[in-house]
């Protein structure tokens, strides 16, 4: 498969009153065309900031201090504002977490869907509206022509999220970034949105990055998973490898904290002790060491780099940033 996205040593920080908050601390990964990548970690681990840094969709206090981003063979690290507007409008689609705050409550659905086509692709309004109705049909919204004349508050939460998905796909982007798009939805609607995205990915052959704090949500959905902690990638592997043979203590902790159907009644769900690190100090040792049951002296002295795990199998990749070989002690099997 051909590479669609290559990210090398990306670093992003935020200016604050007490100094800098180091949100992304040297992230490198790639994405194949048509691949679906899951990015998982607890709140504050840098997963959303990493992906927003790719398309420079950051607040004024943010500074990208290092790294290159190559999208479809072109380095966009130093793209101008005008070039980034085009990339965000045509090359990369975004599905945000809360559709009610992402959609303008005072503008009809049809206008919000079609304006990108009219601006970036110079499409006549009538054609843009027709295409918008087609994509509402594609994402499973009935009576699409009538829906174009409605306001966001007239739609349910699940339907608003489907509108956001249609908006992200309208320009036929090569990459879609989904930033925890099911968090605000109930479990039933969440499952419907997940199945919808899976189907659309196959139909449109679009590469997708799905950001979530819920590792169980990615099961049967993505091809590969990146686990992030303290602005760093601590483990990367295929979906099967992550579940069968996790190699980082943080990944093991995330897997153990997933509720099990066959768990004993009244049994307390395991949790990861301690608290996330202070990111006002850039990590120089393993940031997970204070919370880690496997730590050794070296963990508190040096920050491990991602290394390949040998003997995984042909055409497989499994990388981990850990000084200790935990083997398969974290397997859920």
pLDDT class of 316 with cuts at 50, 70, 90: confident
Whether 164 shows a pLDDT value over 80: the answer reads: yes
In percent, how much of the chain has pLDDT > 90? 73
Q: Using one digit for the tens of pLDDT, what is the confidence trace for 178-237? A: 999 888 788 888 888 899 998 999 888 899 999 999 888 898 899 999 999 999 999 999
Whether 28 shows a pLDDT value over 50: the answer reads: yes
Query: What residue has token string 């169980």?
Result: 216
* pLDDT score at 332: 43
Across 99-108, 204-213, 309-318, least confident range = 309-318
174 touches 34 (CB < 8 A)? no
* Secondary structure (DSSP) of 1-41: --EEEEEEEEEEEEEETTEEEEEEEEEEEEEETT-EEEEE-
In percent, how much of the chain has pLDDT > 70? 95
Q: DSSP secondary-structure letter at 289?
A: G
* Secondary structure (DSSP) of 210-252: EEES-GGGGTTT-SEEEEEETTEEEEEEEHHHHHH---SHHHH
Listed in sequence order, the residues at least 6 apart from 149 whose beta carbon sits closer than 8 Å to its beta carbon are 108, 109, 110
pLDDT class of 282 with cuts at 50, 70, 90: very high
Token representation of residue 148: 């174009």
Count of Cβ atoms closer than 10 Å to residue 172 Cβ: 13
* pLDDT score at 74: 95
**Domains located in the chain, CATH noted:** 3-99+175-320 (3.40.50.300)
Angle between helices 187-204 and 157-169 (to 10 degrees): 20
> Cα separation of 141 and 229, whole Å?
37
Whether 276 shows a pLDDT value over 80: the answer reads: yes
Q: Exposure of 20 by Cβ count < 10 A (0-12 exposed, 13-18 middle, 19+ buried)?
A: middle
Q: Using one digit for the tens of pLDDT, what is the confidence trace for 60-95? A: 999 999 999 999 999 999 999 999 999 999 999 999
For β-strands 224-229 and 19-32, DSSP reports them as: unpaired
* pLDDT score at 107: 96
114 touches 163 (CB < 8 A)? no
pLDDT class of 155 with cuts at 50, 70, 90: very high
**Helices vs. strands in the chain: H and E counts, helices first:** 10, 12
């Amino acid at each position: 498969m051909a590479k669609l996205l290559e990210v090398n040593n990306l670093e992003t920080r935020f200016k604050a009153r007490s100094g800098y908050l180091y949100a992304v601390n040297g992230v490198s990964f790639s994405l194949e065309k048509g691949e679906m990548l899951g990015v998982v970690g607890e709140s504050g681990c840098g997963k959303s900031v990493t992906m927003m840094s790719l398309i420079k969709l950051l607040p004024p206090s943010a500074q990208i201090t290092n790294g290159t981003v190559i999208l479809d063979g072109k380095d966009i690290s130093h793209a101008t504002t005008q070039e980034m507007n085009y990339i965000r409008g045509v090359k990369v689609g975004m599905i945000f977490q809360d559709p009610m705050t992402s959609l303008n409550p005072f503008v009809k659905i049809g206008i919000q869907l079609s304006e990108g086509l009219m601006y970036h692709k110079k499409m006549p309004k009538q054609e843009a509206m027709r295409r918008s109705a087609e994509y509402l049909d594609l994402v499973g919204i009935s009576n699409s022509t009538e829906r174009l004349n409605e306001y966001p508050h007239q739609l349910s939460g699940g339907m608003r999220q489907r509108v956001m998905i249609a908006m992200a796909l309208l320009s036929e982007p090569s990459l879609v970034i989904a930033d925890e798009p099911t968090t605000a939805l109930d479990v039933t609607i969440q499952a419907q949105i997940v199945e919808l995205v899976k189907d659309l990915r196959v139909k449109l052959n679009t590469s997708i990055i799905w950001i979530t704090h819920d590792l169980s949500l990615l099961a049967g959905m993505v091809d590969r998973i990146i686990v992030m902690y303290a602005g760093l990638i601590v483990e990367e592997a295929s979906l099967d490898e992550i579940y069968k043979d996790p190699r980082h203590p943080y990944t093991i902790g995330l897997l153990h904290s997933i509720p099990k159907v066959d768990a004993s009644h009244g049994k307390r769900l395991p949790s990861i002790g301690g608290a996330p690190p202070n990111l006002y100090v850039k990590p120089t040792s393993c940031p997970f060491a204070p919370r880690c049951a496997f730590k050794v002296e070296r963990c508190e002295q040096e920050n491990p780099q991602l290394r390949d795990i040998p003997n995984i199998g042909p055409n497989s990749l499994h990388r981990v940033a850990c000084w200790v070989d935990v083997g398969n002690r974290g397997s859920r099997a």
